[in-house]
Chains A and B, each alone.
Chain A
Amino acid sequence: MQHVEKHPILSVESLRKVYGAGAGAVEAIGNLDFTVARNELICIVGPSGAGKTTFLRCLSGLLAPTSGQVVLEGKKVEGPPEGMAVVLQEYSRSLYPWMTVYDNVELPLKAKGLPAGERRTAVTEALGAVGLSSSTKAYPWQLSGGMQQRVAIARAIAYRPKILVMDEPFAAVDAQTRAELEDLVRDLWQRLGVTVLFVTHDIDESVYLGQRVLVLSSAPTFIMEEVRIGLPDERDQLSTRALPEFARLRTQVYELIQQAKLVTYRTERPVAGEAVSHSV
């Protein structure tokens, strides 16, 4: 059903990040090598302390890697790329409290130089898509956590990114809201045809959402294993999670993560060979 394209939308090539230098240097990312195909929904999961934050900052052009590169649509990422929108875990800090919901969603479109009419359409559509048409004039802090994260998602999709990067977006909302938002992401992904890279520490979430799950090791990070998720495209919280295949996959990912925690201690620096053999 899916096949690896010749020209992936995103490729991460021998990415490595070391903080500091000399004896005090800390290697956060050992070696990351993978590609993401157009319209794919890929999940990245790892044990806590897997250098996910560092990896995402490199990916989104906020932090320069020590070596290796990130290539988005054939262009090397050297600063925040225009075709990427990022949704962070800290919705209450990434939304601007002095702006209404509408203005928050509109601001990046102004930066993009969209004319007023197009901006209005894009903002209205995006807020409609996340179910917030009636809260446009509210301030973010007047909304619940789940609704605030919906605003952040609306802001990202209104930007019309080629790739939507989500950094543990639902780690701070309650379980019921989380299930709703997971379905929202699947729904938006299918409807808008956007590529999604979803980082989480929640194993079930990664299996439920993704077409493919990359399991990271502890820092210095490399890719332990790639797991293809052979679940049907139509997923829902009850029946999909009850499938034997779902249980099998979550067990597999779980075991890999347990393994990842152990691997750290015997990981000396050159893990590159191992990582390459496991990656795409």
Chain B
Amino acid sequence: MKTGKLSAWLFVTLAVPAVILALWTLLAELTESLYWPSPLAIARVFPKAWLDGRMTEDVLPSLVRLALGYLCALAIGIAVGLVVGSVRRLRLAVEPVFEFFRAIPPPVLVPIMMLIAGIGDGMKISVIAFGCVWPILINTVEGVRGIDGVQIDTARSYSLRRRQRLLNVTIPSAAPKIFVGARQSLAIGLIMMVISEMFAASNGLGYNIVQFQRLFQLKEMWSGIILLGIIGVAANAIFKLVEKRCLRWYLGMQSQER
């Protein structure tokens, strides 16, 4: 029974990708297009393109910059969001500004940041952090604002101290919203990581994809795009794992209400 379920699950998950790959391979082999190499050809160049040194020279630095930028955005977004969300007047005053900054597509900041922060790692991390911070910040503010009045009254009537209230009431109560923001930011972070490397860089995933394109190594370029997809999926999986651990109460409560 159990193996039956497993194979059914495998079938449902893999059927569509398999069909897409098959069609892609078929069309590519038939047309022999230079721009749309077959998956088999891409798979053949993949080890040479990435596993021969580029993993540590390019992919790893990209991921480190992504991680640093994203963590900065998390720290700043949550900290500022907690303060702004707790003070009503402050929130009303700054929320429109946040909305404006969020509305600016973060890639346009790359040229300006290059002027200010140069073209090193600092610029790239700043660009990633700047793009990621707004959804986290805005959602944290929303989460803190939305705390149930009864929960606050309870904390007050038992004279919880500021620190206890923050750690035991405010943050956990806002956590589901914070995670919503953090998830949006993760996707933005990945985009910013690649874009910051396309403008000016000497290494990184985005830099290499552009280089391959310029040298007309299209199979290698495609392999980079696929690698990016894999990284995105992996980052999301890690995120889900963390979310599941931190929001166990929330997910449990939701599944019970259904």
Contacts and interface: CB of A to CB of B under 8 A. Distances in A.
B253 A111 contact: no
A86 interface: yes
A98 interface: yes
Given A62-B153, A82-B159, A108-B160, A96 B168 contact: yes
A97 B252 CA distance: 10
Contact of A94 (B150, B159, B172, B253): B150
A159 B158 contact: yes
A85 B156 CA distance: 11
A230 interface: no
Most buried by A among B153, B157, B160, B250: B157
Contacts of B172: 96, 98-99
B173 interface: yes
B201 interface: no
Contact of A111 (B161, B175, B252): B161
Interface in A89-121: 90, 93-94, 96-99, 107-108, 110-112
A81 to B, nearest CB: 8
A82 B156 CA distance: 11
Contact of B252 (A62, A80, A139): A139
A154 to B, nearest CB: 13
A90 B169 contact: no
Contacts of A86: 154, 157
B164 interface: yes
B173 A111 contact: no
B249 interface: yes
B150 A107 contact: no
Contact of A141 (B151, B168, B175, B253): B253
Nearest to B249: A98
Contacts of B157: 60-62, 80, 84-86
B173 to A, nearest CB: 7
A124 B47 CA distance: 61
A72 to B, nearest CB: 13
Nearest to A90: B150
B52 interface: no
A252 interface: no
Interface residues on A, range: 20 to 34
A80 B165 CA distance: 15
B154 A94 contact: yes
Nearest to A111: B160
Most buried by A among B148, B173, B256: B148
A139 B160 contact: no
Contacts of B256: 141-142
Nearest to A112: B159
A29 interface: no
B161 to A, nearest CB: 6
A147 interface: no
Nearest to B161: A111
Nearest to A63: B153
A108 B158 contact: yes
A142 B251 CA distance: 12
A96 B249 CA distance: 10
Interface of B: 148, 150-151, 153-154, 156-161, 164, 168-169, 172-173, 175, 249-250, 252-253, 256
In order of increasing CB-CB distance, the 10 nearest A-B pairs are A108-B158, A93-B150, A98-B172, A98-B249, A80-B157, A111-B160, A94-B154, A141-B253, A86-B157, A94-B150
Interface of A: 60-62, 80, 82, 84-86, 88, 90, 93-94, 96-99, 107-108, 110-112, 139, 141-142, 159
